[in-house]
């Protein structure tokens, strides 16, 4: 096939993302303990090479240098998260921290002055530990504390932020905390997870209502991790398995947060197995219906492939979504061997088409997509630059399908890569490097990777030859 220039719509958002807990470091502003710091204290061995979130990319001290790096790698937009624990250092509630306000205002000003639009996310897995002790997302009191935090952010930073997001991947903490043991407090209990999920959706709606009050020019939405679901075959049992997996992992947050309604089939299924949350009111449902996302961030890494369950489950064991399906690995597919994820670039097109066809073609962008690689120093040349042609290829392959989605009428406004500079990641710490810029953890030296240079050209040309 002959090569062609793929040009994106004017004003397309080129950028990347990270989050407070993964990049800032503790700093001296004062900050409440987060669930990650708490968990690390209790079980440091759960974290790769015993590295905690306190040892990070030290963005809090180096943000001016980092904003210059954003510029040098072609960013016209960037997603940060605002740390709830830093804003409210007294256990996530009480008096707001003037030093935290000063830090974020400085950072956002610096970004704006350098042509980098601020995409601010309010929650990226970093619950203040004291609020987790009060029940975390299972507690209405914590929902109120979150809404107060959100309201404070709109008031303090509303003039500097381009777009707001209530949550990053709300499904993650529910899966990790209540079903799969990768997030504090590591409970296995679906029904409690359903309650926490319900209150997360309610918190999203209440934050949107608070944002409306300020009549800011920004939009507010949510960032969801959505893997298009595919059955192993067209056999009805496999198709049914895929439908159920899709309800649990895709529609569970997408429907209530974007359409204002929980999927009926999921509600019926949970009722049948007595797994519906106990605490919900008509007023909650009305608030959820009234306050939906105005913009949608799509995190896309891999497809979900499933088949009908072949092995029996233990009906005495805890209720889990995988009672209804088994994951399926399609033979012969390209994999990200470090993460165990299938690389399926067409999935980005499928996902965008789903949003176009089933969610009113709401304004959306790719808010995460990227390639984690272990021991990336292997790919350094003699000048110390990581020569990551594999990442450039990965980005191009996905962007070609994103471009096609736009051609097919999807309302896609931008692409943000995960991540900007190599940063700390939940239990994987610094195992898998994702950045456009590499980090020497010992010296904090940052070096633009080959992909960072590519990204600058991509953004300057608003496209690339493919």
Rule CB under 6 A: say whether 166 interacts with ligand BGP: no
Using an 8 Å Cβ cutoff, are 135 and 199 in contact? no
CA angle 224, 45, 135 (to 5 degrees): 50
Q: Give CA torsion, residues 269, 328, 428, 187, to 10 deg.
A: 30
Rule CB under 6 A: say whether 168 interacts with ligand BGP: yes
* Chain centroid, CA 403 distance in Å: 22
Tell me the HSE value of 12 on the side-chain side, using a 13 A CA sphere: 23
Rule CB under 6 A: say whether 119 interacts with ligand BGP: no
Structure tokens at 114: 């350098």
CA 310 → CA 143, 192, 229, 306, 421, distances in Å? 40, 28, 18, 11, 43
CB-nearer residue toward ligand BGP: 16 or 294: 16
Reply yes or no on whether 357 is catalytic: no
Reply yes or no on whether 169 is catalytic: yes
Rule CB under 6 A: say whether 121 interacts with ligand BGP: no
Rule CB under 6 A: say whether 19 interacts with ligand BGP: yes
Cα(48)–Cα(398) distance, integer angstroms: 29
DSSP structure string for 71-109? HHTT-SEEEEE--HHHHSTBTTBSS--HHHHHHHHHHHH
Rule CB under 6 A: say whether 75 interacts with ligand BGP: no
Rule CB under 6 A: say whether 29 interacts with ligand BGP: no
Cα(418)–Cα(426) distance, integer angstroms: 14
Sites for ligand BGP among residues 286-325 (CB under 6 A): 299
Rule CB under 6 A: say whether 37 interacts with ligand BGP: no
Rule CB under 6 A: say whether 83 interacts with ligand BGP: no
Cα(146)–Cα(82) distance, integer angstroms: 12
Cα(77)–Cα(14) distance, integer angstroms: 6
Rule CB under 6 A: say whether 225 interacts with ligand BGP: yes
Smallest distance from the beta carbon of 381 to ligand BGP, in angstroms? 25
Residue from 114, 396, 428, 447 in contact with ligand BGP (CB under 6 A): 428
Rule CB under 6 A: say whether 369 interacts with ligand BGP: no
Under rule CB under 6 A, how many of the chain's residues touch ligand BGP?
15
Using an 8 Å Cβ cutoff, are 436 and 448 in contact? yes
Structure tokens at 255: 């429907």
Smallest distance from the beta carbon of 96 to ligand BGP, in angstroms? 25
CB-nearer residue toward ligand BGP: 200 or 225: 225
Write the binding mask 124 to 163 for ligand BGP: x where contact by CB under 6 A, - elsewhere: ----------------------------------------
Rule CB under 6 A: say whether 195 interacts with ligand BGP: no
Region of 193-201, 253-261, 424-432, 446-454 interacting with ligand BGP (CB under 6 A) = 424-432
**Which chain residues interact with ligand BGP by CB under 6 A?**
19, 22, 168-169, 172, 225, 299, 339, 368, 372, 418, 425-426, 428, 432
Which residues are designated catalytic? 169, 368
């Amino acid at each position: 096939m002959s090569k062609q220039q793929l040009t994106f719509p004017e004003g397309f958002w080129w950028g990347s993302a990270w989050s407070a807990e993964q990049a800032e470091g503790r700093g001296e502003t004062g900050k409440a303990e987060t669930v990650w710091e708490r968990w690390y204290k209790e079980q440091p061995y759960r974290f790769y090479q015993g590295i905690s979130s306190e040892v990070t990319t030290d963005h809090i001290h180096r943000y001016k240098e980092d904003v210059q790096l954003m510029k040098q790698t072609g960013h016209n937009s960037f997603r940060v998260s605002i740390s709830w624990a830093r804003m409210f250092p007294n256990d996530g509630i009480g008096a707001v921290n003037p030093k935290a306000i000063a830090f974020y205002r400085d950072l956002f000003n610096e970004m704006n002055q350098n042509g980098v639009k601020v995409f601010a996310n309010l929650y990226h897995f970093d619950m203040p530990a004291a609020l987790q002790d009060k029940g975390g997302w299972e507690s209405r009191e914590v929902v109120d504390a979150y809404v107060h935090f959100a309201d404070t952010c709109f008031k303090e930073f509303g003039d500097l932020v381009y777009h707001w997001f209530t949550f990053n991947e709300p499904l993650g903490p529910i899966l990790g905390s209540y079903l799969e043991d990768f997030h504090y407090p590591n409970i296995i209990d679906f029904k409690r997870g359903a309650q926490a999920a319900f209150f997360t959706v309610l918190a999203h709606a209440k934050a949107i209502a608070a944002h409306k009050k300020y009549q800011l020019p920004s939009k507010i939405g949510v960032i969801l991790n959505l893997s298009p679901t595919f059955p192993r075959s067209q056999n009805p049992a496999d198709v049914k398995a895929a439908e159920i997996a899709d309800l649990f992992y895709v529609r569970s947050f997408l429907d209530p947060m974007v359409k204002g309604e929980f999927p009926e089939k999921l509600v019926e299924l949970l009722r049948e197995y007595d797994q519906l949350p106990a605490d919900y009111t008509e007023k909650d449902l009305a608030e959820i219906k009234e306050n939906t996302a105005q913009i949608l961030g799509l995190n896309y890494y891999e497809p979900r492939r499933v088949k009908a369950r072949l092995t029996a489950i233990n009906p005495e064991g805890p209720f889990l979504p995988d009672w209804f399906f088994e994951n399926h690995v399609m033979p012969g597919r390209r994999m990200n061997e470090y993460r165990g994820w299938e690389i399926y670039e067409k999935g980005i097109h499928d996902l965008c088409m789903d949003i176009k066809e089933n969610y009113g073609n709401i304004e959306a962008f790719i808010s995460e997509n990227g390639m984690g690689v272990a021991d990336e120093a292997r790919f350094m040349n003699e000048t110390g630059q990581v020569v990551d042609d594999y990442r450039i290829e990965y980005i191009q392959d996905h962007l070609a399908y994103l471009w096609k989605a736009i051609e097919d009428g999807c309302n896609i406004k931008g692409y943000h890569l995960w991540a900007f500079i190599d940063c700390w990641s939940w239990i994987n710490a610094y195992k898998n490097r994702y950045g456009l810029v590499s980090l020497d953890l010992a010296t904090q030296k940052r070096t633009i990777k080959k992909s960072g240079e590519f990204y600058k050209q991509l953004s300057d040309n608003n496209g690339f030859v493919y």
